[in-house]
C-alpha cells in the first residue's frame, strides 16, 4: 500500500510540478508594494492581463520577431508565431524571466544570437518545440529545470551542452533525428537531477549510453533498438517508468534478467518481436506486451515467485504486485491460464 501511494504521489508530482511551482511563484510575488516600482507598459502586439501582471501573452499573433519584453515579466508566451530569430535586444530589461514558450515558430540555430539564452540567469523553463533546430542550442541558462526540444530536426548535441545544468529535471528530445553517434558516453554528463528523459521517435539502434543515475522515467519508443545490454539498468537504479514500445526487440536481444529490476513499476514493450514474456520483478505493477509474437502464457514460468508462495496468503509481502497486464495483438487464445491468476493475486485487468 505504501508503494502504491508513493507511486501515485510521484506521478502527480511529475505531471503537475510545473503548474504548482508557477502558481506558487505568482501568488508569492504579486504584492502591490513589490510591483509598485514597475511600469505596466504592454507591447501593442501582446496581451497583458491585469490580474496576472508578470505574464505576457504574445501567442498566435503572426509575429516575425520578439517584441521588447518589460522588466516585470516572468512568464512569456510566444508560441504559434513566425519568429525566426532570438536576439538579445528584446530581453535587455527582462532580467526576471522564469518561463519562455517559443513552441511552433521557425527558429533555427543560426537565428539564435550567441549567448542570448545563457544570459537569462533566472530562466527555469524553456520550450522550443516544433521549430527548425538542427542541434541543441548552446550555451543554456545554468538554472534550467525543464528543456523541451521535441519535433525539431536535431541530429547533433554539442559537447558539454548539459554539463552545467545540475537543476534540469526534464529533457525532452523526442521526434528529432538523433542517431546512436549523437549520444556519446559523456553527452548527459552533469544532469545530476534529471528525472525524465524522452528520446522517443528518433533513429536509435542501441540503448543510449550513460543515462543519468537519478532518471525515473526513460522513454525510448519508436526507435529501432534491438538489444538491451547486460546489466544496463544497474547504472540507473531509480528508473521507474520504462517505455520501449515500437522497437525491434526480440527474445535474443534481452538478457535473462534484463527487466528483472526492482525499481521498474511500469514496463512497456508493445509492438516488438517477442515470442515469450521476459522475466519480471515482483515489484512490477503494469506490463504492456501487446502486439508482439507471443503464442502462449505459462504463469508458472513467468511468476517472479514460486506458485506455492503465491498461493499462501501468509506471504503477502512476497506476492507479485502486477495489477495490469496487456497481451492483445499476440497469438494467445483465451481463457487466461489459472496459474496466472494464482500468481498475480493483485491483477485488476488483463487484456488478451
pLDDT digit string (tens) for 37-58? 455 789 999 999 999 999 999 9
- Collapsing DSSP to helix, strand or coil, 287 comes out as strand
Question: Which residues, at least 6 apart from 100, have a Cβ–Cβ distance to it below 8 Å?
Answer: 76, 78, 120, 123, 125, 126, 127
> Residue 129 and residue 66: Cα distance in Å, rounded?
17
Chain Cα centroid distance, residue 185: 20
pTM for the structure as a whole: 0.87
For residue 259, pLDDT over 60 is answered with yes
- Rounded to the nearest integer, the mean pLDDT of the chain is 89
Higher pLDDT, 38 or 346: 346
Burial (Cβ within 10 Å: 0-12, 13-18, ≥19) of residue 234: exposed
> Are the CB atoms for 294 and 277 separated by under 8 Å?
yes
298: left (phi over 0), alpha (psi -120 to 50) or beta: beta
Grid look-up 520550450 returns 127
For residue 117, pLDDT over 50 is answered with yes
Interior/surface letters 180-190, b for 16+ CB within 10 angstroms, e for the rest: bebbeeebbeb
- Mean pLDDT of the 225-231 span: 97
Indicate the Cα dihedral angle 243, 274, 178, 207, nearest 10°: 80
What's the pLDDT score for residue 316? 54
- Mean pLDDT of the 110-134 span: 97
For residue 194, pLDDT over 80 is answered with yes
What's the pLDDT score for residue 20? 39
- Mean pLDDT of the 85-105 span: 97
Q: Which residue(s) pair with 57 in the sheet?
A: 47, 77
- Mean pLDDT of the 20-44 span: 52
What's the pLDDT score for residue 312? 59
Amino acid at each position: 500500500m505504501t508503494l502504491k501511494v508513493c507511486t501515485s504521489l510521484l506521478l502527480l508530482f511529475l505531471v503537475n510540478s510545473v503548474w504548482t511551482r508557477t502558481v506558487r511563484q505568482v501568488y508569492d510575488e504579486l504584492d502591490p508594494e513589490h510591483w509598485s516600482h514597475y511600469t505596466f507598459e504592454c507591447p501593442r502586439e501582446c496581451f497583458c492581463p491585469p490580474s496576472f501582471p508578470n505574464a505576457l501573452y504574445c501567442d498566435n499573433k503572426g509575429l516575425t520577431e520578439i517584441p521588447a519584453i518589460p522588466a516585470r515579466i516572468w512568464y512569456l508566451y510566444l508560441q504559434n508565431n513566425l519568429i525566426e530569430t532570438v536576439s538579445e535586444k528584446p530581453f535587455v530589461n527582462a532580467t526576471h524571466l522564469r518561463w519562455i514558450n517559443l513552441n511552433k515558430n521557425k527558429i533555427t540555430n543560426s537565428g539564435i544570437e550567441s549567448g542570448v539564452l545563457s544570459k537569462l540567469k533566472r530562466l527555469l523553463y524553456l520550450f522550443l518545440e516544433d521549430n527548425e533546430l538542427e542541434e541543441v542550442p548552446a550555451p543554456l541558462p545554468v538554472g534550467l529545470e525543464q528543456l523541451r526540444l521535441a519535433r525539431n530536426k536535431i541530429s547533433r548535441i554539442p559537447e558539454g551542452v548539459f554539463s552545467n545544468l545540475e537543476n534540469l529535471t526534464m529533457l525532452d528530445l523526442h521526434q528529432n533525428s538523433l542517431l546512436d553517434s549523437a549520444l556519446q558516453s559523456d553527452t548527459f554528463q552533469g544532469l545530476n537531477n534529471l528525472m525524465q528523459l524522452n528520446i522517443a521517435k528518433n533513429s536509435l539502434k542501441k540503448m543510449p549510453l550513460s543515462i543519468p543515475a537519478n532518471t525515473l522515467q526513460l522513454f525510448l519508443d519508436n526507435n529501432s533498438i534491438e538489444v538491451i545490454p547486460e546489466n544496463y539498468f544497474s547504472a540507473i537504479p531509480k528508473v521507474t517508468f520504462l517505455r520501449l514500445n515500437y522497437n525491434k526487440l526480440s527474445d535474443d536481444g534481452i538478457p535473462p534478467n534484463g527487466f528483472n529490476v526492482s525499481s521498474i513499476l511500469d514496463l512497456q514493450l508493445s509492438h516488438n518481436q517477442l515470442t515469450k514474456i521476459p522475466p519480471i520483478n515482483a515489484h512490477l505493477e503494469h506490463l504492456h506486451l501487446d502486439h508482439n509474437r507471443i503464442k502462449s502464457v505459462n504463469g508458472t514460468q513467468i511468476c517472479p515467485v514460486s506458485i506455492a508462495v503465491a498461493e499462501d496468503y501468509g506471504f503477502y509481502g512476497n506476492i507479485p504486485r502486477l495489477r495490469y497486464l496487456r497481451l492483445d495483438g499476440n497469438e494467445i487464445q483465451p481463457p487466461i491460464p489459472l496459474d496466472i491468476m494464482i500468481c498475480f493475486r493483485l491483477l485488476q485487468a488483463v487484456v488478451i
